[in-house]
Structure 1
Amino acid sequence: MIMECAVGGSLEIFIEPIVKRKKLYIFGAGHIGAALAKYASELNFKTTIIDERHEIVSKLDLEDVSIIEKKHKRSYKDLHFDSNTFIAVVTHNHRYDREIVAFCSEKPNAYLGMIGSKRKIEVAKKTFLTGNIMTKKQMKAIDWPMGIKITVKTPEEIAIAILAKMIDVRSKLGVHA
């Protein structure tokens, strides 16, 4: 932008918006979680992967990814959630997945998704409804099974399908880093 000065001459100003990166919490550091973390950080998400299994977490070699190794019940209590937070639930335990989804559904977020087979998703929904844990309206806000609907086989392909959905959601939020 060029501005004319009252005393003569002009001033050229360059404006570069600085936009906060969207946070992505990945619960589960298995093959899918690790692939998701790798690609997400490359796509400019501020990525944190959370898992309690030392034998899995200790083998992760991910650039620009924060790693939290904590027991399941304590893993999400200290996290900060806001309307720009993306959440992917891909743990090794169905019960953990349900507990994390229930907890996160009460927090502000831009995206909450859980991986799972048709059967796993049906069981989770039934558990939430019969236990009065969530309403149907709350459940509609969850992407499950998460990701765009394409035929995928490998952990990397699954991660890309999930990220495609997240990128779509992020783009609809407006300008992003």
Structure 2
Amino acid sequence: MRLDLLSDLNAEWAARRTAVLITDIASDEQRLVREKEVGGDFLAKELQERLRHGKSGLVEREGRQFFLTVQVPTVRVIIIGAVHISQALAPMMKSLDLDATIIDPRTAFASRERFPDVPVLPEWPDDSLPDLKLDRYTAVVALSHDPKIDDPALVAALRTQCFYIGALGSRKTHERRMQRLMAAGVAETDLARIHAPIGLDIGAVSPAEIAISILAEVIATLRNERRRSP
């Protein structure tokens, strides 16, 4: 690979943008297609298909073969609230190569002992989320069930392109939440982005079952977003 292509590919990775390195099998020529360029490319259909699945592979177009090296940012899930559901959810996400981070200012809950395998930030969401630079490859799930913790996280997430935003609570709880967020200046159209009650409706009862329903909804939304992208 040419050094300039490697440098450009690394720059796209650092900026958490998708990119595809295209190698012409016959000539060995290479070129880089950035996220914003995919739609107008000669291989647009093939690029979009590969990006949807996040997998590299060989494609053929008009009798020519190309190898597409797909680079997709790691999907991050920011979990607000170091609760029992979070303890079940974080390991599940790790098994699917999703980067999970726990945020909860309550240090009695947000501890390494309770979450040994994921980053834990014992901070208020207002303080930690700006540094995490939420983007469209980030999901935010609010599980603390404490408005003082969940609401600021939801407001911050709604100001970004997060592909998934979910919040724990009943429909009545969510109605009250929406009133608070509108009072805080959040537009009603933005509030529609919140998945609440959180998770797919599978009749989940236990923390582990609720975690499964949340994870399923996150994945379903992620795949749907990739079908529409770029």
**Smaller-chain TM-score bracket:** 0.7 to 0.9
Larger relative helix fraction: 2
- 2:190 aligns with 138
How far did 1:15 drift?
Answer: 5.8
Determine whether 1:153 maps to 2:230: no
Which one-letter code corresponds to 1:159 in the other structure?
A
How far did 1:92 drift?
Answer: 4.4
How far did 1:72 drift?
Answer: 4.8
How far did 1:41 drift?
Answer: 1.3
Shifted more, 40-49 versus 66-75: the winner is 66-75
Which one-letter code corresponds to 1:60 in the other structure?
R
Q: Any unmatched runs of 5+ in structure 2?
A: 1-23, 29-65
- 2:215 aligns with 163
CA gap 1:67/1:134 in 2 versus in 1, 3 angstroms: same
Equivalent residue for 2:86, pick from 7, 10, 33: 33
Q: Any unmatched runs of 5+ in structure 1?
A: 6-12
For the 8 Å contact 1:25–1:50, the answer to whether it is kept is yes
* Paired residues for 1:67-82 under 5 Å: 67-82=120-135
Higher RCO structure, 1 or 2 (CA under 8 Å, sep 6+): 1
CA gap 1:4/1:112 in 2 versus in 1, 3 angstroms: closer
TM-score, normalising length from structure 2?
0.65
Question: Which whole-Å deviations, capped at 9, do the CAs of 1:24-52 have from their partners, x for residues lacking one?
Answer: 11111110122111111111211111112
- 1:60 aligns with 114
For the 8 Å contact 2:145–2:168, the answer to whether it is kept is no
Which one-letter code corresponds to 2:177 in the other structure?
A
The 2-side partners of 1:135 and 1:114 are apart by: 17
CA gap 1:117/1:76 in 2 versus in 1, 3 angstroms: same
